[in-house]
Amino acid sequence: MALAALIAAALLAGGCVRYVARPLPPAQSLASFEARRPDDAALRERIAAVFPALAGDWPPARWDRAQLFALAAAANPELAVVRAEYDAARAEQAVAGLPADPDLSLQTEYARREQRPWLYGLGLDIPLRTAGQRQLDRAIAGSAVEAARANLLEQAWQVRHRLVAALSAIEARQREQALLAALERLQRQRGDHVARRVAAGEDDAGEQLIAREAQLRAAAARSEAATALAADRAALAQALGLPLAAAAALATDWPDWGRPPPVDAAVLAGRREQALLARADLGAAIAVYSGTERQLQRAVARQYPQVVLSPGYVWDHGIVKLPFALGLHLPVFDRNRGEIAEAEGARALAGTRLLALQARIHGQIDAARDAEAGAAAGLAAAERRAADAREQHERARRALDRGAIDRGEALAAEILATETALDLLHRQADLQAARLALEDALHAPLSGPELALSPAVEDSEESR
């Protein structure tokens, strides 16, 4: 018997997994992150696995939104966390529904006055779980995997949204910098012109103060824009998962920025329906609700007796005995009402959250569509004002050449044209932000090179 026990122990030990240490020294991980570059071989391999069409000529000389998102999908650490959670859920699914492990008990006894003084025995307690119970466990684990997969897609979308929002802000700030520099130069020239007129007694001293204030406002606006541009570049680096220096070195390309192409009504209607029925975060909520349904079903099943088989072997002072017992877990007092009530509450909460999210998506889409329409109208009005100001500036320039007006009037017309150009730029930024908000409500790109990436992202996660 002792030999049999040793053999059994050896067999059990042979199937065990050995622990392998994998420390994460902070200094080493910091150095690895700071050395990360877009042309890293490891990043290219990850990109090739998900977006093989983009990996042929990597890294590109100029980065469009699709290439930037592919880089973020491979490098963003927050996305890596959610991907690891998805892998963990799949690992749990792999062992869900397996037969329960038995409990082994050993016993011994010594009787001094017996001819054979020793008693040895062992017993097993084997929980007998039905095929239906194991199927429920597998279904619950499957719902958890679906929720984790939907969360992964949701996190991928959030990374994309932060990426394009930062990129759009950078595009706006870079254009704004040039206009603000021109405006500051014009205000300085106007201030010098007014100062000369005041010195000559042609203008009141108050005019010089007004001109000086306008010059200071232009300088302050340019400084604020530079600060905002630095913050936007930091946000882009964070979305990409790169150090700031590496992200700032990327030359980006967004040719239709500020004037997003119109979207076909049928395409928009299809995207809207898809978002209301299966947006990534809604898919996660649906999977969570499905899991709570199965958990309630399992809790109801547990109100019935649970069977435990207990076979054994006893060498009783020279006599071999083979005992066999049948145990029942009898929930006769509470009928498992506590677990059932908890599961019912969890299901009700998950259902309420699902319905609230669906209503919120509905409102987000409608609000974003209205906001885009309003931004488009604002842009059209700004274009008319800018065109009028440019025409007025051109007339003033010709009048100055003829000597019909002085330099101050010509500067005023040029300043007005520059200010209306700034306003036009801001309206373009508003329209682009409204389009990004609509895409965020739909969780789908509506134009640009990213359209070809959406199926690739979902297919790659399906195959994981």
Pairwise CA distance, residues 161 & 415, whole Å: 36
pLDDT of residue 11: 44
Burial class from Cβ neighbours inside 10 Å (0-12, 13-18, 19+) for residue 426 reads middle
Pick among 3.40.50.1370, 3.40.640.10, 1.10.3720.10, 1.20.1600.10: CATH of 64-447: 1.20.1600.10
Q: What is the pLDDT of residues 338-379, one digit of tens each?
A: 899 999 999 999 999 999 999 999 999 999 999 999 999 999
Global pTM value: 0.87
- For 211, phi then psi, to 5°, come to -65, -40
Choose the most confident range, by mean pLDDT, from 129-143, 197-211, 371-385: 371-385
Across 277-299, average pLDDT: 96
Nearest to 163 by CA among 175, 153, 155, 152: 155
Residue 103 bridge partners (DSSP): 125
The rounded percent of the chain whose pLDDT value lies above 90 is: 69
pLDDT per residue over 299-310, tens digit each? 998 888 888 999
Q: Mean per-residue pLDDT for 258-267?
A: 95
Share of the chain above pLDDT 70, in %: 94
Question: What average pLDDT does the segment 283-289 reach?
Answer: 98
Secondary structure string (H, E, C) spanning 342-366: HHHHHHHHHHHHHHHHHHHHHHHHH
Asked if pLDDT for residue 1 goes beyond 50, the answer is: no
Given a cut of 80, whether residue 454 has pLDDT beyond it is no
Q: What is the pLDDT of residue 3?
A: 40
**Residue 188's pLDDT is what?**
93
Cα distances from 35 to residues 29, 223, 247, in angstroms, run: 10, 31, 12
Q: Where are the domains of the chain?
A: 64-447
26: how many CB neighbours lie within 10 A of its CB?
7
Contacts for 338 with CB less than 8 Å, ≥ 6 apart = none
CA dihedral (175, 178, 184, 186) positive or negative: negative
Of 17-26, 283-292, 445-454, give the range with the top mean pLDDT: 283-292
Nearest to 283 by CA among 189, 388, 145: 145
**What 3 state SS string does 273-301 have?**
HHHHHHCHHHHHHHHHHHHHHHHHHHHHH
Give tens-digit pLDDT for 65-104: 999 999 999 999 999 999 999 999 999 999 998 888 899 9
Closest CA to 166 of 436, 435, 441, 449: 436
Q: Record the tokens describing residue 314, joined without a space.
A: 């006893």
